[in-house]
Chain A
Amino acid sequence: MLKKRNAKDWLLDGFIYLFMIALAVMTLTPFLNLLAKSVSEEWAVVSGKVTILPIGFQLETLKFVVTSSNFTSSLGISALVTVIGTVMAILLTAVTAYPLSKPQIPGVSFILILFVFTMLFSGGIIPNYLLIRELNLLNHLGSLILPGMISVFNLLVMKSYFEGLPEALEESAKIDGARTFTILFRIILPISSPVIATISLFYAVGYWNDFFSAMLYISDPALKTLQIYLKDIVINADLAALGMSPDDMMNLPGEGVRAAAVIASTVPILCVYPFLQKYFVKGVLIGSVKG
């Protein structure tokens, strides 16, 4: 199986590495630039001297942003929505995907078609808005959590993972007297950590980054999410000369503050990745079924 690596292999590997490194540099540079701007002194930022290394290192700007009550309150809201939303979404997706992965149940394929239908067609913004309004969910965190609880795409991913699990596992549990819920929660879910980790990440990032529903359904400033806060801060400074009142112009946040706000809002969700990393790598099925 082990073949000796020849020159062609080395060349190919070298090329792949170079390409990946170039890609990584390309995606990292803007981020590093923002990071550097957020810890540099304002004069250096204004005069465009900051590249990826900070000039005149200071943490005041970052501290100002992180300690401002607007930031902390919207961070709290976003964290709450993300945590509750992700847990609920995973739960709901799992209990929906499990029966759908059993083709022997009558009518499953039709229900599946109904789900897929919603992937292609939706009611549109205004019907959705009216629905949320009639449910009395305007200006309520429920409006941010409920509509996103089942993503059909994630549902399909989970369903096909469940389909790949060996039937024998369930049969053995059944012999031991386990019923459907026990099988799902004690057998299936524990060995599904890779797919759960992946989908949690999808859901978490989705909830965290969700801007549109917060913009639409939330008008109470006390319930502002982080993304809305960010948009308020970063709002296009190029418009300053045009449609802005003099007071807004005088109060325009500096570029350093804007960079710091972006950094402070990105870092929390970034921290989730390394924790989930380990689940992606592990193979879990090794040795669970013999013969």
Chain B
Amino acid sequence: MLQRKWLSVLLSVALMLGLAACNTGGGQQGDTSTAPGQEANATKPKLKVLYPSQPEDYNTYPVAAVLEERTGYKVQYDMLPADNPQDKLNIVIASGEEYDAIAVRGTSADKALFADYAVRGALTDLTPLIDEYGPNIKKALSEVTLDALTIDGKIYGIGNRTMEFVGGGLLIRQDWLDQLGLPLPTTVDEFVYVLEQFQEKDPGGNGGQNIPFSILGTDPFPANISGAFGLTNAWNEVDGELLPRALAPTLEDYVAFMNDLFQRKLLDNDFVINKVANLKEKLTNGQAGVIPTTWAEVTPLVEAIKKNHPEAKLAFIPTLQGADGQMGLSAASGFDRITMIPKSAKHKEDIIKWIDAMLEEETFKLVVLGEEGKHYTYENEAYVPINPIFTDERNRANNFLIGLDEEKYPIYWQARVRKDPVMFEAYEFLNMKQPEEAAQRDALRLAPYLPEFSKNSQSLDTLSNDTMVNLIFGSTSAGSLESFRQRFNAEGGEATVQEVNDWYKTSGN
């Protein structure tokens, strides 16, 4: 017993030391466990990949079988946890697990990890492999996509670009407008007038419970309104320079505007404690007149409000124009997913061949859409899903993809939105029926790894949001905007702006 205890103490010390040197030593162990698969299929080894979490098991999902049949590769799909995947990923990479490919989501935390791994030499340089084995990869992915995941001239990742559409807007009670004989507002002034009318005439009959406009406590920059003040995204272009909202010249006007709404109780005075669920409650129980939300979430809202108030009608507000004609709706950009091949991968060539085979035109379409007549139909130049089989067998197809056919995928992808007509209508309104200049992409989402930005952005975002909430609240303890900006710059804001703009000027945007 005594001996065993000491042994394990010694062992853990040894293992800790081993970890320090594990980049070199990690590759050799565990060979025995993967050997049988190799014997069974000498030419095509069984691949092992690690993917982000999804509720269904990747291995038994219908798409896995389609891929195996089309590519000839057997694949074991492992999954990262939904909660804090970065923690587990760090351990997996540090211990040199033999995954042939690891896919992560494209959040800034994931991007920072990806860059970190690449710089520390934990990832395989894909440039020569793609040149040799990836003709389809080269064809499908644009220069911009590959550049964004290139570090020191070497491609370390294959990215799935986000569909660049507008996600969020302001949802309004159309029936309240109708009742008051008002049209949908198109400018900020009209919007304020509508809120005043909602408050004065109380079309919902809420009495003291009436809330003309409610927003999230975590996001003091609701969609659409923020755009009218030139604050659409976290970073916006001002005179050829990218500036965070905190330093934008229009911020002062915006704060004054929101504070005014708050003082006059046009803005929900409890907005600070609103979470997504509270916000939806306030709309669907008939209290709130306007809330920010996304088209993807609109269907349950419509269903719920119809039950509570059968006469209710919901609509998205068109892009509002600010005082000097500014407008903007934030459009998604960047990556949904980044796939990397760790140094410890055993089948580097095969994994690239597999990814390449997945991007072959026919296979790609079969994976994303399924079979014509069975999973989808092609009508009026649009792909329409056949349900329920499309949802059952292809709903998670996007999670299998490594790299996208960037020309075709946006067209195929609309089939997913069309699976629900209410949702599609909302999507269409925000994306196809708005002025072209309305949709504004966040320029930084495709930026390469920027060390200062990665280091500071999260704490700066928190600082800005907290201060904004306080300022809208009219709380004096928050101090003036000026002192906030000084603090912002002192805590890394200045260095970040400098770094971001150094990149921005060379990026050719």
Contact = CB atoms under 8 A, between A and B. Distances in A.
Interface of A: 41-44, 46-49, 70, 73, 107, 110-111, 114, 123-127, 129-131, 133-134, 136, 139, 215-216, 219-222, 224, 228-229, 231-233, 235, 237-238, 240-243, 245-247, 249-255
B79 A246 contact: no
Nearest to B105: A243
A252 B297 contact: yes
B296 A221 contact: no
Interface in B78-93: 78-83, 88, 91
B276 A254 contact: no
A247 B398 contact: yes
Interface stretch (B243-251, B278-286, B358-366, B488-496): B278-286
Contact of A238 (B107, B218, B332, B396): B218
B57 A221 contact: yes
B219 A130 contact: no
B15 interface: yes
B162 interface: yes
Contacts of B218: 238
A246 B81 contact: no
B284 A221 contact: no
Contacts of A131: 11-12, 15
B192 interface: no
Given A215-B83, A249-B297, A222 B57 contact: yes
Interface string B144-157: 00000000000000
B30 A232 contact: no
A50 to B, nearest CB: 10
Contacts of A255: 277
Interface residues of B, number: 77
B281 A46 contact: yes
Interface stretch (B38-46, B302-310, B377-385): B302-310
9 contacts: A44-B307, A47-B285, A47-B307, A48-B277, A48-B281, A126-B16, A243-B108, A243-B109, A250-B417
A235 B57 contact: no
B182 to A, nearest CB: 25
Given A114-B2, A127-B15, A246-B167, A43 B307 contact: yes
A243 B303 CA distance: 26
Interface string B238-277: 0000000000000000000000000000000000000111
Given A46-B281, A131-B12, A126 B307 contact: no
Interface stretch (B48-56, B65-73, B196-204, B478-486): B48-56
Contacts of A228: 81
Contacts of A245: 105-106, 162, 336-337, 398
B59 A221 contact: yes
A277 B31 CA distance: 50
B57 A47 contact: no
Interface string B288-321: 0000001011001101111110000000000000
Interface string B91-109: 1001101000000011111
A48 B167 contact: no
Contacts of B79: 219-221, 224
Nearest to A56: B307
A53 B106 CA distance: 41
A228 to B, nearest CB: 6
Contacts of B88: 215-216
Given A131-B11, A220-B78, A250-B296, 12 more contacts: A42-B304, A43-B307, A46-B301, A48-B285, A111-B2, A125-B91, A133-B95, A215-B88, A231-B82, A241-B167, A241-B294, A250-B417
A70 B56 contact: yes
4 nearest A-B residue pairs (beta carbon) = A48-B281, A219-B78, A47-B284, A243-B107
A233 B55 contact: yes
Nearest to A55: B307
B167 to A, nearest CB: 7
A110 B300 CA distance: 63
A250 B419 CA distance: 10
B423 interface: yes
B163 interface: yes
B348 to A, nearest CB: 20
Contact of B91 (A129, A136, A240): A129
Interface in B392-451: 395-396, 398-399, 416-417, 420, 423
Given A48-B277, A245-B162, A235 B82 contact: yes
A35 to B, nearest CB: 17
A11 to B, nearest CB: 39
B224 to A, nearest CB: 14
Contacts of B94: 126
Contacts of B300: 42-43, 46, 254
A138 to B, nearest CB: 8
A183 B83 CA distance: 48
B307 A235 contact: no
Contacts of A48: 277-278, 280-281, 284-285
Contacts of B60: 222
Nearest to A136: B33
B171 to A, nearest CB: 13
Nearest to A117: B5
Given A70-B57, A127-B16, A232 B82 contact: yes
B229 interface: no
B78 A221 contact: yes
A237 B1 contact: no
Interface in B173-200: none
Contacts of B167: 241, 246, 249
B29 interface: yes
B19 A126 contact: yes
A259 B276 CA distance: 16
Nearest to B305: A47
A42 B308 CA distance: 12
B83 A221 contact: no
Nearest to A46: B304
A253 B109 CA distance: 24
Given A43-B308, A114-B2, A231-B82, A240 B297 contact: yes
Contacts of B56: 70, 221
B117 interface: no
Contacts of A220: 76, 78-79
Contacts of A129: 91, 95
A277 to B, nearest CB: 33
Nearest to A73: B57
Contacts of A110: 2
